[in-house]
Structure 1
Amino acid sequence: MRLPRKPLCLFLIALYGLFSLYAAYHVFFGRRRGAPAASSRGLRKGAAPARERRGRDQSTLRSEEWNPWEVDEKNEQRHRFKTSLQILNKPTKGKTDFRVQIWGKAAIGLYLWEHIFEGSLDPADVTAQWREGNTIVGRTHYSFITGPGVVPGYFSVDVNNVVLILNGREKAKVFYATQWLLYAQNLVQTRQLQHLAVVLLGSEQCSNEWISRFLRKNGGSVELLFLVYDSPWVNDVDVFQWPLGVATYRNFPVVEASWSMLHNERPYLCNFLGTVYENSSRQALMNILKQDGNDKLCWVSAREQWQPQETNESLKSYQDALLQSDLTLCPAGVNTECYRIYEACSYGSVPVVEDVMTAGSCGNTSAHHSAPLQLLKSVDAPFIFIKSWKELPAILEKEKTIILQEKIQRRKMLLHWYQNFKTELKMRFTNILESSFLMNNKG
């Protein structure tokens, strides 16, 4: 059977046309197959829609040869390569799987974890019942738990080494801290725990005799004690001094340095926001400021009664005062060391510290030549130390003559010192734990 000639010719012509179109497509468009992938990658990187990029597409380079994220990608690859080298080059000699869990049962625990260790907590909500985080320092893997849900006997203990952070500043806190110490001591005695250290916010008068019976040298289970304030117990053998830090219980944040913090002109010579007690050095400070009218040049806000908690407004006002003042006045309270010292450092405002020994059992200058604030002085804190507020007018007069560039350099030096101070504390803390706990393991 013969097929009709005309339909066959039409079919062949149509087939030839389709083949020609297919060949032309490959010739002119085949080289652009990679474009969709590049486009989708661009959108993942947060690129603008095509309509918004038309002006940027006018280039002497072919569009398929120009990758606007090439620099970012190369930097990212370079960073990954550098990180890999650092991991490979880390010394492995003597490396051990040393794990420490920190139980944060006092607000100073947040200063240790978030400010010194630069660790994060999950969840971020400060009101959560249970918060936890992890970080690695040297050979040590740290885990941190805190919150009302961390209660003796109501969580599993699956670690050998624990650092317990407690508040022993007043009688009610001491009772609570004692319960935790009894619980931890029982864990050690029943071999559920191998090593125990304590970070203690001690008494402002250094009256910490209540914890003495828990120390290892007195038959207890606490091998190491890190103690806030200039206690005569500090011997750098089993008792070490620890900084007070910022008032985390008032939600004072971790502060990141910014360009404006370093370079902006600050409108105030100094600041003091706080409680002024009758017949105290703080009262003397206020009188000195008023005598020469310097209270008009400083951000001063005094109150007669202490307030344990900040409002959002008062916290912002305080932070603004630190940020907008070149100097922060730090009068002694019940103890010379105060949160204000560290909070001023966070904002690059130089602390002017009343360097006097307060009443109590913290020592005296004849027996301890660098007391008070021995820890800060041992690392050359770049503060202004004074013995009397009568020295303040001369300090403020000198401050008026300092040009902005000199103040910028001073801020940089203070912020750099404070960062180094926290880093050295972290490494020293870790080295002490590793040396003591690992050595005792061998013994």
Structure 2
Amino acid sequence: MRLTRKRLCSFLIALYCLFSLYAAYHVFFGRRRQAPAGSPRGLRKGAVAPARERRGREQFTLESEEWNPWEGDEKNEQQYRFKTSLQVLNKSTKGKTDLSVQIWGKAAIGLYLWEHIFEGLLDPSDVTAQWREGKSIVGRTQYSFITGPAVIPGYFSVDVNNVVLILNGREKAKIFYATQWLLYAQNLVQIQKLQHLAVVLLGNEHCNNEWINPFLKRNGGFVELLFIIYDSPWINDVDVFQWPLGVATYRNFPVVEASWSMLHDERPYLCNFLGTIYENSSRQALMNILKKDGNDKLCWVSAREHWQPQETNESLKNYQDALLQSDLTLCPVGVNTECYRIYEACSYGSIPVVEDVMTAGSCGNTSVHHSAPLQLLKSMGAPFIFIKNWKELPAVLEKEKTIILQEKIERRKMLLQWYQHFKAELKMKFTNILESSFLMKNKS
């Protein structure tokens, strides 16, 4: 009996051990066989992907919150902007485009139009490349843009019907070069390789642009639309329109993206002026006023006697730092009231203090605008400080000293938002004018 009981216990223990071994085998080896076939690299990817995705979402959220320059203002307008964005997207992508336009950029202002206003990209990105091109769709129009030294009359294929030609007509040498392009375009129109032509012109700073008059369609020529820089009395908003000077792209001034620090950091300088001082000019008067009141020690001031057409990497960085670290940018007149400095200050959220006086020459009011100088900027509500005489500057600077940081932040937001809106409005206005003119004439 005792032997039988002993055997039974041994049997149960052996059975328990066998069951344990089977269970262990099933747990550690059975599941592995049931896993789907794939490489170890594939399994590892599958295992870490959800975690990586979660981290990516978290990182994106953190970055969005940290670098969102508009903060509460954007949250308040989020629903409206989302709806507007959808409307613009639907308008620009719905169906095929009705108009194809090629832009020939033969002046540096073309880069301001394409990269800053149209927010277009260029391939290659190298600014020294012989040939650069890009594409963009705005409204019902598909744009292509070409620029560079290799864009020469007669040395590239013309397979478009509508062209915008960007030219420099500021001085005699440039006018000669621009005239060659217009004669080339005229020949293309005559042999019916081109149907429509518009010109964006960097005009003369005294608004002496009579040389282009014979080419305008209203005078028997073939240029249907003229977009001209500076306050030309020709501007009528029918076939001649004002265009902004923009930033100095010929000096490689970049497209500037707003950042959190640009908006919120305390800026160490009250104002800045880096530029050429001409004898017996208002710029000389400005320097004297700054020195007289000791404000030159509170502002970033760097004066030179001779104009330099090109920037070094160091001088460009110094200039950008001055804009970024100053609350105000002083914008005295040069040959013309409008200067690159105005738009460059806007890019960095530094309020332009503009000398609002007419310069010598033929620029002035037009039949549709009566607020020269800077009619385009004023008509679009530029939030600048306009002064008639630099003797007003000490009072402006004294007031500036009393403004707290939060007020300056709000003012920077307003300036940057206005400048973004300004460029967006110009892009749509430019496109609407081309569509209204070119498409209507195609139907007639």
* Alignment TM class, shorter chain as reference: 0.7 to 0.9
Q: State the 1:68 CA deviation.
A: 3.7
Which position in structure 2 is the counterpart of 1:39? Answer: 44
Q: 1:216 to 1:74 in 2, by over 3 A?
A: farther
Q: In the alignment, is residue 29 of structure 1 matched against residue 29 of structure 2?
A: no
Q: 1:41 to 1:163 in 2, by over 3 A?
A: farther
Q: CA-to-partner distance for each residue in 1:200-254, whole Å, 9 max, x for gaps?
A: 0000000000000000111111000000000000000000000000000000000
The answer to whether the 8 Å contact 1:100/1:161 transfers is yes
Q: CA-to-partner distance for each residue in 1:388-437, whole Å, 9 max, x for gaps?
A: 00000000000000000000000010000000000000000000000000
The answer to whether the 8 Å contact 2:235/2:367 transfers is no
Which position in structure 2 is the counterpart of 1:97? Answer: 98
Which position in structure 1 is the counterpart of 2:223? Answer: 222
Secondary structure of the residue aligned to 1:106 is: coil
Which position in structure 1 is the counterpart of 2:248? Answer: 247
| Structure 2: stretches of 5+ with no match in the other structure | 1-21, 61-82
Which position in structure 2 is the counterpart of 1:413? Answer: 414
The answer to whether the 8 Å contact 1:357/1:365 transfers is no
The answer to whether the 8 Å contact 2:237/2:368 transfers is no
Q: How does 1:330-349 map to 2 (within 5 A)?
A: 330-349=331-350
Q: How does 1:86-235 map to 2 (within 5 A)?
A: 90=91, 96-235=97-236
Kindly provide the amino acid, as one letter, of the partner of residue 278 in structure 1. E
Which position in structure 2 is the counterpart of 1:69? Answer: 53
Q: State the 1:354 CA deviation.
A: 0.2
Distance 2:356 2:88 in 1: 45
Distance 1:42 1:394 in 2: 66
Distance 2:100 2:47 in 1: 43
Q: State the 1:75 CA deviation.
A: 12
| Structure 1: stretches of 5+ with no match in the other structure | 1-18, 46-65, 77-81
Comparing 363-372 and 433-442, the one that deviates more = 363-372
Distance 1:401 1:207 in 2: 44
Q: CA-to-partner distance for each residue in 1:37-84, whole Å, 9 max, x for gaps?
A: 3633678x8xxxxxxxxxxxxxxxxxxxx54415858999xxxxx9xx
The answer to whether the 8 Å contact 2:276/2:306 transfers is yes
Kindly provide the amino acid, as one letter, of the partner of residue 209 in structure 1. E
Relative contact order higher in (CA < 8 Å, ≥ 6 apart) = 2
Distance 1:131 1:367 in 2: 37
Secondary structure of the residue aligned to 1:286 is: helix
Distance 1:271 1:88 in 2: 40
The answer to whether the 8 Å contact 1:166/1:177 transfers is yes
Which position in structure 2 is the counterpart of 1:371? Answer: 372
The answer to whether the 8 Å contact 2:91/2:139 transfers is no
Q: 1:365 to 1:195 in 2, by over 3 A?
A: closer
Q: State the 1:139 CA deviation.
A: 1.0
Q: CA-to-partner distance for each residue in 1:179-214, whole Å, 9 max, x for gaps?
A: 000000110111001110000000000000000000
Measured on the aligned residues, the alpha-carbon RMSD in Å equals: 2.7
Q: State the 1:22 CA deviation.
A: 8.9
TM-score between both structures, scaled by the size of structure 2? 0.84
Q: 1:128 to 1:392 in 2, by over 3 A?
A: same
Comparing 171-180 and 355-364, the one that deviates more = 355-364
Secondary structure of the residue aligned to 2:228 is: strand
Kindly provide the amino acid, as one letter, of the partner of residue 350 in structure 2. S
The answer to whether the 8 Å contact 1:357/1:364 transfers is no
TM-score between both structures, scaled by the size of structure 1? 0.84
Kindly provide the amino acid, as one letter, of the partner of residue 252 in structure 2. N
Which position in structure 2 is the counterpart of 1:303? Answer: 304
Q: State the 1:369 CA deviation.
A: 2.9
The answer to whether the 8 Å contact 1:244/1:339 transfers is yes
Distance 2:169 2:46 in 1: 56
Which position in structure 1 is the counterpart of 2:361? Answer: 360
Secondary structure of the residue aligned to 1:253 is: coil
Q: State the 1:96 CA deviation.
A: 3.9
The answer to whether the 8 Å contact 2:165/2:197 transfers is yes
Q: 1:415 to 1:41 in 2, by over 3 A?
A: farther
The answer to whether the 8 Å contact 2:104/2:166 transfers is yes
The answer to whether the 8 Å contact 1:365/1:372 transfers is no
Distance 1:68 1:354 in 2: 55
Q: 1:312 to 1:360 in 2, by over 3 A?
A: same
Comparing 86-95 and 21-30, the one that deviates more = 86-95
Secondary structure of the residue aligned to 1:113 is: helix
Q: How does 1:322-337 map to 2 (within 5 A)?
A: 322-337=323-338
Q: 1:319 to 1:41 in 2, by over 3 A?
A: farther
Secondary structure of the residue aligned to 2:134 is: strand
Q: State the 1:363 CA deviation.
A: 1.9
Calculate percent identity across the aligned residue pairs. Answer: 80
The answer to whether the 8 Å contact 2:100/2:142 transfers is yes
Distance 2:118 2:238 in 1: 22
Q: CA-to-partner distance for each residue in 1:151-206, whole Å, 9 max, x for gaps?
A: 00000000011000000000000000000000001101110011100000000000
The answer to whether the 8 Å contact 2:277/2:284 transfers is yes
Distance 2:198 2:92 in 1: 27
